[in-house]
């Protein structure tokens, strides 16, 4: 497509071998320019594919007016790359300026012919027509040969760019002006020439162009300039065609604005061109489709899929003109020589167009030497050549086999790890050996060589080999292949696929014994595949869970601490107690005072506080075991852990509470409690009332109420010595007793509970202090004491109750409030100063002090 330019003759008419650069002007090169020229020549001699270096070299030669060297540099670059519009216009103007002789004119005209082939350029076509009018003697003289020459060039220009909506009118105008000049020179006596000009106007008015109104006005003005009797009105059918063309131009106005000159060549411009192309393809006019494609590839010359789409569009709409399609693909491979698809399309277009074998083989060699990039590029080119050789009549079997061999060797050398799942080359080769050459041994040799390559690790290769044997009726050979492949290490799932295929073949073509043998051979393969599938399913589930965990919000240490505090009832109780008025310390309640307190009316709730549901009376404390009995394990609505109320008074020497033998819980008035709970909306709610005059305040179940030394002192161990125990949570993993004891001053002992089943630490601890004051100081540091960066939560120890029910009080009905004192045993609640309850519950001895946690634990273990 890109023939060499003719040997340039010097503009002064001398010998073309004269390399003097004084054709037009003297050389104007500075020392810096000469150094740059020398450097660029060295770079291009080592690597001629440097586009930017070519452009820079041409620019410096032009600046220095080294015309002969400039012409040679341009020719060398154009053999490798198509020129842009700017490069062509520079070159053309330089050559036109130096056209002095007939030989110069022929060279410049040939240059114009080459310039219009790279890309669609309205300025280049317009300059070409103007060059012919101004510089060609026969065209200027309006001779018959000159008229024919100009009209041929003008029709080519209209075919290429006459449909260019914004700028195509320039070509129409140049053509009209020349024909109108010929008619004027003849004095408009030649009616045929006058009608030729009129027909040009009519043709232009039927084409959607931006300057349609101007063309109509020019037509009327020209008609008015004709001699009397020769002027004619615009025919009605031309008016209708003009209105239709104007409507079509208006419909494309938005697309033209999106691809207007000056816009950067980015993805937005490419998308705008594709939308424009889609519109024209919907209209179905091949000329207009080609015009928009030409504008698109001029803006994006190295966009391979644009060239491929352009060529395919021409193949679909111009099947009877294979030369046009072939020319487009020839331009495409000059712009994108590394794309094998374009080379393959060109080879196939040449074959459909009936190109001779020599040309096809030559283009195939050019494709292999063009620097193809990937395995698919080489494979596409080789397959196009192989298809052509196979379809030759008579078939070129020797050339076909040699090309297959060369293709296989090239693919193995360039891409040793490439595996084609479709086996397009190997299966094709084996099929040609079997069908065209009738050589089964050669076909098997092809497959055996394929099995020894990287493709032998894929089940598709074995399946293709088996399919060839089965098509040939060789069931025994196929069975032998199956026996071989089940022993091979194939890709995941490949062995199972071949095993199933083997069983199916034996069911359909084999005997019962052969099927049984196949089953025995494939059972381990299928079992392994099933196990792998199950493991993959489990791994996928684990991966999904891990991905979900990674998507969880990453919280800071402060945010995690705040969340733990919000969910920690100890912290909520501590915060509520800090807001409520502190209750004064009091002595142990007397029986009379307790009875009076039970009769006291309940204090009203503060304004704005949301009252909980009344299913469980305000102040009711649900035993922990009852909470565990609930399916959801959640705390009852409106009933958070409460501070313990005063214990019931002992009745008689037996130490039984007033509620009788079966009573296991004490009840008191809400007015004698300082209740901190949570309402139904999950908000803290405080109910403050006057404290009982004598009952000591006990810590809430699991709560973190600020301790009072007088309250703590009410606890005592069995040996009569004062003792205090703190409950500590939020411990770091692997924390030891000595490490935790070092955090608190006055710590006497540290106990880290373990799970009875797993023997693992439960994550909390009990710290015994020598004095209530030391316990109070430790609890005051709750949330502030740190161990290994973990803030410890400290509260007064209140071990869980062993009660199993709500119980009923003295009045025989459901109690309104329940209080908890220090635990006296597993069965129920015991008062701090009262005796053990009935029903076998072992509390403190009558009249004695309550038992310590250690004594309770010892007692419980003895019972077991």
Q: With a cut of 80, say whether residue 176 has pLDDT above it.
A: yes
Cis peptide before 394 (omega within 30 of 0): yes
User: Three-state DSSP class for 796?
Assistant: strand
Give the pLDDT mean for 735-748. 84
User: What pLDDT, in 10s, does the model give residues 199-226?
Assistant: 999 999 999 999 888 999 999 999 888 8
Q: With a cut of 70, say whether residue 274 has pLDDT above it.
A: yes
Please tell me which of 177-191, 460-474, 726-740 the model is most confident about, judged by mean pLDDT. Answer: 460-474
What pLDDT score was predicted for residue 80? Answer: 93
The model's confidence at residue 844, banded by pLDDT at 50, 70 and 90, is: very low
What token pair was written down for 188? 């408009």
Of the two residues 575 and 787, the one the predictor is more confident about is 787
What token pair was written down for 166? 């914004």
What pLDDT score was predicted for residue 694? Answer: 42
Of the two residues 583 and 38, the one the predictor is more confident about is 38
How confident is the prediction for the chain on average, in pLDDT? 78
- Give backbone dihedrals phi and psi of 360, rounded to 5 degrees, phi first: -65, -45
Q: With a cut of 90, say whether residue 389 has pLDDT above it.
A: yes
Please tell me which of 72-76, 650-654, 659-663, 826-830 the model is most confident about, judged by mean pLDDT. Answer: 72-76
Of the two residues 433 and 596, the one the predictor is more confident about is 433
What pLDDT score was predicted for residue 573? Answer: 61
In order of 125, 542, 561, 715, the CA distances from 549 in angstroms are 66, 10, 19, 46
Contact 786, 715 (CB under 8 A): no
DSSP single-letter state for residue 457 = G
Helices (H), 761-851: 772-780
Of the two residues 321 and 159, the one the predictor is more confident about is 159
Q: By percentage, how much of the chain surpasses pLDDT 90?
A: 50
Residue 722 pairs in a beta bridge with 716
Work out the angle between the directed axes of helices 85-97 and 67-80 (0-180°, nearest 10).
150
Give the pLDDT mean for 581-606. 42
Please tell me which of 38-47, 539-548, 605-614, 842-851 the model is most confident about, judged by mean pLDDT. Answer: 38-47
What pLDDT score was predicted for residue 579? Answer: 54
DSSP of 729-786? E-PPTT--HHHHHTTSTTEEEEE--B-TTT--B-S-EEEEESSHHHHHHHHHTTTT-E
User: What pLDDT, in 10s, does the model give residues 647-662?
Assistant: 444 444 344 444 443 3
The model's confidence at residue 743, banded by pLDDT at 50, 70 and 90, is: confident
C-alpha 774/C-alpha 724 separation (Å) is 8
The model's confidence at residue 572, banded by pLDDT at 50, 70 and 90, is: low
What pLDDT score was predicted for residue 394? Answer: 77
Contact 570, 705 (CB under 8 A): no
Contact 130, 144 (CB under 8 A): no
Give the pLDDT mean for 778-787. 84
Q: With a cut of 60, say whether residue 824 has pLDDT above it.
A: no
What pLDDT score was predicted for residue 770? Answer: 86
Contacts of 702 (CB under 8 A, 6+ apart): 569, 570, 641, 727, 795, 798, 800
3-state secondary structure string across 619-685: CCCCCHHHHHHCCCCCCCCCCCCCCCCCCCCEECCCCEECCCCCCCCECCCHHHCCEEEECCCCCEE
State the number of CA atoms in the 13 A half-sphere of 177 facing the CB.
11
Contact 643, 699 (CB under 8 A): yes
Give the pLDDT mean for 539-554. 72
C-alpha 789/C-alpha 628 separation (Å) is 32
Within a 10 A sphere around the Cβ of 400, how many other Cβ atoms?
21
What pLDDT score was predicted for residue 755? Answer: 83
Candidate from 110-119, 380-389, 525-534 with smallest mean pLDDT: 525-534
User: What pLDDT, in 10s, does the model give residues 291-322?
Assistant: 999 999 999 999 999 999 999 999 999 987 88
List b or e across 804-835, with b for residues whose CB sees 16 or more CB atoms inside 10 angstroms: eebbbbbeeeebbbbbbbbbbbbbbbbbbbbb
Helices (H), 120-252: 122-135, 137-140, 144-161, 169-185, 191-205, 212-225, 236-251
Q: With a cut of 70, say whether residue 810 has pLDDT above it.
A: no
Give the pLDDT mean for 319-342. 93
Q: With a cut of 50, say whether residue 459 has pLDDT above it.
A: yes
Q: By percentage, how much of the chain surpasses pLDDT 70?
A: 72
C-alpha 590/C-alpha 598 separation (Å) is 12
Q: With a cut of 90, say whether residue 16 has pLDDT above it.
A: no
The model's confidence at residue 189, banded by pLDDT at 50, 70 and 90, is: confident
Q: With a cut of 80, say whether residue 282 has pLDDT above it.
A: yes
Of the two residues 755 and 18, the one the predictor is more confident about is 755
Give the pLDDT mean for 478-507. 93
What pLDDT score was predicted for residue 562? Answer: 81
User: Three-state DSSP class for 716?
Assistant: strand
The model's confidence at residue 737, banded by pLDDT at 50, 70 and 90, is: confident
In order of 421, 482, 517, the CA distances from 469 in angstroms are 19, 11, 20
DSSP of 291-345? HHHHHHHHHSTT-HHHHHHHHHHHHHH-TT-HHHHHHHHHHHHHH-TT-HHHHHH
What pLDDT score was predicted for residue 849? Answer: 62
What pLDDT score was predicted for residue 268? Answer: 95
Contact 367, 380 (CB under 8 A): no
C-alpha 667/C-alpha 619 separation (Å) is 9
Q: With a cut of 60, say whether residue 769 has pLDDT above it.
A: yes
C-alpha 737/C-alpha 747 separation (Å) is 11
The model's confidence at residue 442, banded by pLDDT at 50, 70 and 90, is: very high
Of the two residues 137 and 542, the one the predictor is more confident about is 137
C-alpha 510/C-alpha 521 separation (Å) is 15
């Amino acid at each position: 497509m890109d023939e060499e330019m003719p040997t340039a003759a010097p503009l002064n008419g001398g010998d073309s071998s004269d390399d003097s650069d004084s054709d037009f002007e003297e050389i104007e090169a500075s020392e810096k320019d000469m150094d740059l020229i020398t450097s660029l020549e060295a770079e291009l001699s080592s690597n001629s594919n440097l586009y930017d270096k070519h452009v820079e070299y041409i620019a410096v030669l032009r600046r220095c007016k080294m015309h002969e060297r400039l012409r040679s540099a341009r020719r060398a670059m154009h053999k490798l790359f198509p020129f842009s519009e700017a490069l062509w216009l520079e070159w053309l103007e330089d050559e036109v300026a130096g056209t002095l002789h007939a030989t110069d004119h022929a060279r410049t005209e040939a240059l114009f012919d080459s310039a219009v082939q790279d890309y669609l350029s309205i300025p280049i076509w317009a300059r070409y027509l103007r060059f012919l009018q101004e510089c060609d003697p026969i065209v200027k003289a309006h001779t018959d040969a000159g008229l024919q020459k100009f009209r041929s060039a003008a029709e080519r220009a209209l075919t290429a760019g006459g449909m260019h909506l914004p700028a195509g009118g320039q070509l129409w105008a140049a053509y009209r002006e020349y024909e109108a000049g010929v008619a004027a020179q003849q004095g408009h006596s030649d009616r045929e020439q006058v009608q030729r000009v009129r027909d040009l106007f009519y043709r232009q008015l039927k084409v959607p162009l931006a300057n349609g109104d101007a063309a109509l006005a020019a037509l009327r003005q020209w008609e008015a300039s004709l001699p009397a009797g020769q002027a004619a009105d615009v025919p009605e059918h031309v008016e209708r065609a003009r209105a239709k063309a104007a409507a079509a131009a208006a419909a494309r106005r938005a697309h033209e604005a999106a691809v207007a000159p000056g816009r950067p060549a980015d993805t937005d411009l490419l998308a705008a061109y594709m939308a424009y192309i889609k519109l024209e393809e919907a209209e179905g006019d091949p000329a207009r489709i080609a015009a928009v494609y030409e504008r698109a590839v001029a803006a994006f010359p190295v966009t391979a899929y644009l060239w491929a789409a352009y060529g395919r569009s021409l193949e679909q709409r111009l099947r009877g003109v294979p030369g046009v399609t072939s020319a487009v693909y020839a331009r495409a491979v000059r712009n994108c020589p590394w794309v094998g698809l374009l080379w393959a399309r060109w080879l196939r277009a040449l074959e459909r167009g009936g190109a001779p074998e020599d040309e096809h083989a030559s283009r195939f060699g050019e494709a292999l030497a063009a620097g193809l990039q990937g395995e698919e590029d080489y494979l596409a080119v080789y397959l196009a050549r192989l298809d052509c050789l196979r379809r030759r009549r008579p078939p070129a079997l020797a050339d076909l086999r040699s090309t297959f061999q060369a293709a296989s060797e090239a693919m193995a050398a360039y891409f040793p790890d490439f595996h084609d799942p479709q086996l397009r080359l190997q299966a094709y080769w084996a099929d040609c050996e079997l069908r065209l050459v009738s050589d089964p041994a050669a076909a098997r040799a092809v497959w055996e060589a394929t099995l020894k390559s990287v493709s032998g690790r894929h089940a598709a290769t074995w399946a293709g080999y088996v399919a060839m044997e089965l098509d040939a009726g060789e069931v025994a050979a196929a069975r032998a292949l199956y026996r071989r492949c089940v022993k091979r290490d194939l890709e995941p799932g490949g062995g199972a696929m071949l095993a199933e295929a083997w069983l199916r073949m034996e069911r359909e073509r084999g005997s019962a014994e052969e099927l049984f043998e196949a089953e025995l051979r494939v059972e381990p393969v299928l079992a392994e595949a099933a196990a792998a599938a199950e493991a993959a399913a489990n791994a996928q589930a684990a991966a999904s869970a891990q991905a979900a965990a990674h998507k969880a919000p990453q919280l800071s240490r402060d945010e995690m601490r705040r969340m733990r505090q919000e969910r920690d009832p100890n912290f909520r109780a501590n915060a509520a107690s800090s807001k409520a008025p502190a209750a004064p310390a009091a002595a142990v309640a007397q029986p009379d005072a307790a009875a009076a307190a039970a009769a006291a009316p309940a204090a009203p709730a503060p304004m704005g506080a949301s009252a909980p549901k009344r299913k469980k009376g305000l102040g009711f404390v649900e035993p922990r075991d009852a909470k565990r009995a609930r399916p959801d394990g959640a705390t009852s609505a409106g009933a958070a852990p409460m501070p313990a109320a005063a214990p019931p008074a002992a009745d008689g020497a037996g130490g039984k509470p007033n509620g009788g033998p079966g009573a296991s819980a004490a009840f008191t008035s809400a007015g004698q409690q300082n209740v901190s709970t949570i309402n139904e909306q999950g908000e803290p709610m405080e109910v403050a009332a006057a404290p009982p005059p004598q009952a000591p305040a006990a810590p809430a179940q699991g709560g973190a109420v600020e301790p009072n030394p007088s309250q703590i002192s009410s606890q005592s161990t069995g040996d009569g010595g004062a003792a205090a125990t703190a409950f500590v949570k939020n411990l770091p993993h692997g924390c030891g007793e000595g490490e935790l004891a070092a955090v608190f001053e006055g710590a006497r002992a540290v106990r880290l509970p373990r799970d009875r089943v797993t023997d693992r630490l439960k994550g909390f601890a009990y710290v015994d202090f020598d004095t209530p004051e030391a316990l109070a100081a430790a609890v005051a540091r709750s949330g502030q004491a740190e161990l290994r960066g973990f803030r410890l939560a400290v509260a007064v120890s209140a071990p869980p109750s062993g009660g199993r029910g709500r119980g009923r009080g003295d009045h025989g009905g459901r109690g309104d409030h329940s209080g908890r004192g220090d635990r006296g045993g597993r069965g129920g609640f015991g008062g701090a100063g009262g005796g053990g309850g009935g029903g076998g519950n072992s509390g403190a001895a009558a009249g004695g002090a309550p038992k310590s946690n250690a004594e309770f634990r010892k007692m419980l273990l003895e019972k077991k």
